[in-house]
Amino acid sequence: MIRLISFSSALLLAASAAIADPAAIYRDNCADCHGAGRLGGIGPALIPETLKRMRGPKIEAVIADGRPATQMPGFADTMDEAAITELAAWLKTPLDAVPDWGPAQIAETLTPDPGYVAADAPVFDADPMNITLVVETGDHHVSVLDGDTFEVLDRFETPFAVHGGPKFSPDGRFVFIMSRDGWVQKYDIWSLHQVGRVRAGLNSRNIAISRDGKHLAVANYLPMALTLLSTADLSVEKVMPVISKTGMHSRVSAVYQAPQRDSFILALKDAPEIWEVATDPDAEPVYEGFVHSREKDMVEAIPSSEGLFARRRIEIAEPLDDFFFTDDYRHLIGAARDGARGVVVNLNVGREIAELPLPGMPHLGSGISWELDGRRVMATPHLKEGKLSIIDTTDWTVLKTIDTQGPGFFLRSHEDSPYFWADVFFGPNRDLMHVIDKQSLEIVRTLRPEPGATVAHVEFTRDGRYALVSVWEDDGAVIVYDANTLEEVRRLPMRKPSGKYNVFNKITFSEGTSH
């Protein structure tokens, strides 16, 4: 007897039959958008390095139901549960071989925006120094806000899954944005238009721009290299493999600009070293803080004869992550692997000089600093404990521990604000935001802007008058608070807004922001 089956049942059977071969399911259903080699196409790369960093629905749910507001369809009608589970498990396995990703491959991805025409002056009336960018991770867009009126001047599409702070050119005109898949996007704020994109890495961490604004560094996990791009046209200047003194290849956890030093500082994931890369070969290294001439003799200065991107290694006892820098960029504090200590490194002499007890995994990269009783202090949240540590950066002691309603992720303040703001990012109280007095170190107000909704990450306007808070939900919002009265003044609907970045605060390296 001949039995007729529907088209969708036939597909379902086909997918079930292919359970043993998830690679075939992938080829038939996913490769067109995500690339034959799982490295991305119009959809993101589907490799464990990226997937395990994704917050939000589980990969099985995304395959079954799709992603709203994207081109990712749901496959629940054509793939049964077992096939979806099998496919998801396969996507979490590493690639058999990571393809070369050198200057030639990167150059091939360079995509100038054909519609871009550089404006001679800003195409809007707003203060270009008070523009604030809001990264909306819900549908992979950035909103360009006028920091005075809070009007949205533009809303543009970004590469998939932007991570880390966008970096502005020193004049505040251009901004560079990076996705976890290693795409770097250049956008012209004056023209309100994308300039172009390039894929600098396959799995990337963050970016940093040089003090003179000419070079952009991209920290990569895949390949294990630092990519250096020209900010003018996104062309590749160098791909620097990261190999330790003992010959070990290492991922780059992060790259930071050290403005006074005219250099990039690199955190290495797999090797006990910190790297410093020169971005101005003609500049005299700034080592103004020396106390002992003995210290000076120990300096392994960047040899300027090696030219641009000369590299200096600082050997340390164990790999450190997640750096906070003092305002003079003479010292950094890095998080030790045990999640219980901060290690202070003097960048001038190139060695560890102190250790701090910081149990509960400090998130030093979110650290901010200010003056307290004539001393320079910094504050850091902890990812695994509901507390904030206040550290005296003159003698490297923990001055105070402030108890909060749960572990937080970000801190923010402004030179002209008496308060700093600390979110509660994890746990049942993730809808709370603490406001803390910078002098008394007491919590003066705890806000609950939207009961049940995660609130996180704050940015101030240029003058410090308003604080912008993200309601980190798909139908979320940016809430504008009066930074002195702590009253809500505006609510702007946004799609899962994450970080917000004010041009002036960022290009002046405000002490209230992470750099």
**Closer residue to ligand DHE in complex, CB, 101/409:** 409
- Smallest distance, ligand DHE to C-beta of residue 457, A: 6
- Smallest distance, ligand DHE to C-beta of residue 417, A: 16
**Closer residue to ligand DHE in complex, CB, 147/499:** 499
- Smallest distance, ligand DHE to C-beta of residue 206, A: 3
**Closer residue to ligand DHE in complex, CB, 29/514:** 514
**Closer residue to ligand DHE in complex, CB, 348/470:** 470
Query: Which secondary-structure segment (H or E) carries 397?
Result: strand 397-403
- β-strand pairing of 488-494 with 476-482: antiparallel
Query: Would you tell me which residues interact with ligand DHE (CB under 6 A)?
Result: 53, 55, 137, 163-165, 205-206, 254, 365, 409, 457, 498-499, 514
Q: In what order do the strands lie in the sheet with 497-502?
A: 152-157, 141-146, 131-136, 497-502
- Pairwise CA distance, residues 308 & 212, whole Å: 13
- Pairwise CA distance, residues 100 & 91, whole Å: 20
Q: Are 128 and 173 in contact (CB under 8 A)?
A: yes
The answer to whether the peptide bond before residue 285 is cis (omega within 30 degrees of 0) is no
**Closer residue to ligand DHE in complex, CB, 275/409:** 409
Q: Are 381 and 338 in contact (CB under 8 A)?
A: no
**Closer residue to ligand DHE in complex, CB, 194/253:** 253
- Pairwise CA distance, residues 389 & 373, whole Å: 17
- Pairwise CA distance, residues 23 & 14, whole Å: 14
- Pairwise CA distance, residues 124 & 480, whole Å: 22
**Closer residue to ligand DHE in complex, CB, 78/514:** 514
- Pairwise CA distance, residues 515 & 477, whole Å: 24
- Smallest distance, ligand DHE to C-beta of residue 175, A: 13
**Which residues fall within 8 angstroms of residue 475, CB to CB, at 6 or more apart?**
493, 495
> Using the 8-state DSSP alphabet, how is residue 18 labeled?
G
- Smallest distance, ligand DHE to C-beta of residue 79, A: 27
> Using the 8-state DSSP alphabet, how is residue 360 labeled?
S
State residue 81 phi and psi, 5-degree precision: -60, -40
- Smallest distance, ligand DHE to C-beta of residue 52, A: 8
- Smallest distance, ligand DHE to C-beta of residue 135, A: 7
Q: Which ranges of 277-374 would DSSP assign to H, the alpha helix?
A: 293-298
Q: Are 86 and 29 in contact (CB under 8 A)?
A: no
**Closer residue to ligand DHE in complex, CB, 18/252:** 252
- Smallest distance, ligand DHE to C-beta of residue 165, A: 3
